Structure 1
Amino acid sequence: MDDESIITRARWARRGALGILTVIALIAVIGLPLYVFPAVPAPPQADLIYVIGPPTATRIADAESLRDQGIADRVLVSVPRSGNDSAEKLSYCWRSYVTCRTPDPFTTRGEAALLSAYASGGDTVVVLTYTPHVLRTRYIFDTCAKAAVTVVPVDERLNLTRWVYNYAYQTAAFVKAGFVGCADPPADALP
């Protein structure tokens, strides 16, 4: 191999690396308003506050804060069937104004269906989730839930790895949501 072909290959390698970095930077910039800084409306007066899974301490604290502000008196929490966050083990579920239920399926689509069992078309609901999930949650709940929904992000800290994962996951899940449709409300979920 002569010196000129080595130099040519090195140039192509640099251009390829620069192209890949440019695509990554472009994806990151496009995703900023979608996943990092979604539009956040002020929570309206509502009939219900809905914490969608998992019921992290931050989401529960935000639900309590909204309740203390008088946004709504009732709280619905999406919980898994088993484990530390299940209705049986999560002490927050024992409060008189809190209802904890497991959606079927245990997905955002299932959570929208569960909400339809609790809220009518005239109800307003504040839904709490983490920031990268806001846009897809709005789409699914606007499409599948009967109630008027305002999705509010909670401030859950994510490291760079989690942000990269969420960019990929939320994008793929958003595309899937466009094809899958809505789930049926569970018959046994009624309050």
Structure 2
Amino acid sequence: MGAEQLAFLLGCLFPSLGIFYADARYRLVPDRLILSILLAGLVGSVYTHRLPDALLGTALGFGIFILPCLFNLAGGGDLKCAAALGAWLGPYGLTCALFIAVLLGTAWGVILKLRRGVLAGWAKTLLIGLYLRVICGVKGAVPVPKIPEHPDVPTPPDTVPFGACMVVAVWVLWGLNLLKGW
């Protein structure tokens, strides 16, 4: 294992385990862990001479999540997590990680709805809403659940902890990168 891989393991992957646990269990992303990942990624990028790539990745992570956060469709922890991971992965790596995370999050959401017994009703409502929106042009026909604004209000039980999905995606990318090196 090279110095860059060891730095990635210690500066990004190990702290991300705490993010996975906190987000999966409590639907919260600890700011201290996010800050440590972000700072380690930016400092590491200075030493590896890829600071522009790290800044672009951070900006991309922030830019992708800012609108969903403003409309309460994603949490602020997801925004901060994507920005911090972007410092390590750069724009291309972050795009790959987010693609994997979306697939994981979709599967996680389907499983949650299936376990609660609401998958069929949700799918029917979604399809009817899409039909009304796309074919008939009815605005507001697609039901989009929102995250509660107040921290004391519990999150809905079928909310997907997307920060945890991003963490798993980064671990998957790291594992694939290790396999590619062999």
> TM-score band (shorter)?
under 0.3
Choose between structure 1 and 2 for higher RCO, CA contacts under 8 A separated by at least 6 residues.
2
Larger helix percent: 2
TM-score scaled by length of structure 1: 0.27
> TM-score, normalized by length of structure 2?
0.28
Structure of larger gyration radius? 1
More strand by share: 1
